[in-house]
């Protein structure tokens, strides 16, 4: 079995969310008819929430297939680093090189356009890159419509392809959110959505020991680890160093899918 086959994430039928929505509407109507207005209104408020919840669950495949673990990885983990390129990138590349580790950098298109030399350095060092939107509109990503999602993902894809000569194959949702319109865009660009199984919330204010205490228990064969560039000076490098040391102590090697 090839590595690509172990990472295959079968898509749910395209009609499934819409069929589920029609079924939910029918259930609401039935409850209203059988139990009266009070219960009908309660169902009307509850049922839509069942369709909103998957939007905010990073590893939910309800609206688009998602990889949350690296199947068939053996004693390897997949390090994924979001939100670059940034001033942290050179230090992270140097650290990965010292540990003979590889990672996937999920890049923001606008930031890549401002620092194309760092994008090329990532690829030259043997790492892979992924699509993390064009401008990272984190407050509204979950609510974007088809045109806006297509523009955000498409512009990033074009920008990264122009810099490296090859379009990315991996995609990570902004803040992990998704909605009913993203699957079609990913299919059009041949992208696979990547979630995670280990995170330390380093993207929010947190001390390095606290971040590592959250991630380390989740380090296991096939783990997909979520890390971030940015934050306080030196934070991203310290977190990455701690993760690599903890992985080595467990006999795990950081690598990327082929």
pLDDT 10s digits, 65-111: 999 999 999 999 999 999 999 999 999 999 999 999 999 999 999 99
The answer, yes or no, to whether the previous bond of 85 is cis (omega within 30 of 0) is yes
What does the pLDDT read at residue 32? Answer: 62
Is 4 a member of any domain?
Answer: no
**For strand 224-228 and strand 76-84, is the pairing parallel, antiparallel, or unpaired?**
parallel
Question: Residue 2: what pLDDT?
Answer: 38
Contacting residues for 239 by C-beta, under 8 A, at least 6 apart: 200, 202, 208, 211, 212, 215, 227
Looking at the fold, whether 206 and 82 belong to one and the same domain comes out as yes
Name the 3-class secondary structure at 153: helix
- Does 36 lie in the same domain as 164? no
Residues 87 and 202 in one domain: yes
Considering the chain, what is the average pLDDT of its residues?
A: 89
CATH number at residue 220: 3.20.20.370
Same domain, 171 and 122: yes
- 198-199 and 128-131 strand pairing: unpaired
β-pair partners for 253 = 76
**201 in a structural domain:** yes
pLDDT digits (tens, 9 = 90+) for 160-202: 999 999 999 999 999 999 998 999 999 999 999 999 999 999 9
CA 171 and chain centroid, separation: 6
CB within 8 Å of 30: residues ≥ 6 apart: none
User: What is the model's pLDDT at position 17?
Assistant: 61
User: pLDDT grade, residue 42 (50/70/90)?
Assistant: low
pLDDT at 52: 79
Looking at residue 21, what is its pLDDT? 60
Do 51 and 130 belong together in one domain? no
Identify whether 29 is part of a domain. yes
Task: Check whether residue 128 and residue 190 sit in a common domain.
Answer: yes
Identify whether 147 is part of a domain: yes
Query: Do 52 and 132 belong to one domain?
Result: no
Q: Are residues 48 and 80 in the same domain?
A: no
Domain that holds residue 42: 16-56
Burial class (CB in 10 A: 0-12, 13-18, 19+), 47: middle
Give 178 or 1, the one with higher predicted confidence. Answer: 178
On whether both 238 and 182 belong to a single domain, the answer is yes
Assigned domain for 7 exists: no
Domain match, 121 and 196 both: yes
pLDDT for residue 47: 67
Verify that 151 and 217 share a domain, yes or no: yes
How many independent structural domains does the chain possess?
A: 2
Looking at per-residue pLDDT, the higher value among 20 and 102 belongs to 102
Q: Alpha-carbon torsion 239, 244, 249, 251, what sign?
A: positive
Q: Measured between alpha carbons, how far is 28 from 41 in angstroms, rounded to an integer?
A: 8
**Which two tokens mark 6?**
């172990």
Strand partners, 198: 225
231 vs 212: CA distance, rounded Å: 15
Predicted pLDDT of residue 3 = 40
Is it the case that residue 50 has pLDDT exceeding 80?
no
Q: What 3-state DSSP class applies to 116? A: helix
Of 32-36, 91-95, 162-166, 252-256, least confident by mean pLDDT is 32-36
Indicate whether 64 belongs to any domain. no
Q: Is 26 found in the same domain as 124?
A: no
Query: What pTM was computed for the model?
Result: 0.84
Residue 11 lies in a domain: no
Domain assignment present for residue 30? The answer is yes
pLDDT at 6: 40
């Amino acid at each position: 079995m090839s590595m690509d086959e172990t990472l295959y994430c079968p898509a749910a039928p395209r009609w499934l969310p819409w069929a589920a929505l029609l079924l939910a509407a029918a259930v609401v109507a039935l409850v209203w008819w059988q139990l009266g207005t009070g219960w009908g209104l309660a169902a009307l408020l509850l049922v839509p929430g069942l369709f909103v919840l998957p939007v905010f669950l990073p590893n939910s495949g309800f609206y688009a297939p998602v990889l949350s673990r690296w199947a068939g990885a053996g004693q390897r983990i997949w390090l994924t680093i979001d939100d670059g390129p940034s001033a942290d990138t050179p230090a992270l590349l140097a650290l990965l090189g010292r540990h003979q580790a590889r990672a996937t950098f999920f890049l923001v298109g606008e930031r890549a356009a401002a620092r194309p030399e760092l994008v090329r350095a990532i690829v030259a060092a043997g790492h892979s890159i992924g699509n993390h939107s064009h401008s990272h509109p984190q407050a509204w990503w979950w609510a974007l419509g088809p045109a806006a999602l297509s523009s955000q993902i498409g512009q990033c894809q074009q920008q990264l392809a122009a810099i490296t000569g090859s379009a990315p194959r991996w995609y990570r949702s902004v803040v992990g959110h998704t909605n009913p319109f993203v699957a079609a865009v990913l299919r059009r660009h041949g992208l696979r959505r990547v979630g995670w199984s280990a995170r330390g919330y380093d993207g929010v204010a947190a001390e390095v020991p606290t971040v590592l205490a959250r991630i380390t228990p989740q380090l296991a064969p096939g783990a997909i680890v979520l890390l971030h560039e940015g934050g306080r000076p030196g934070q991203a490098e310290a977190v990455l160093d701690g993760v690599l040391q903890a992985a080595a102590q467990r006999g795990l090697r950081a690598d990327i899918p082929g």
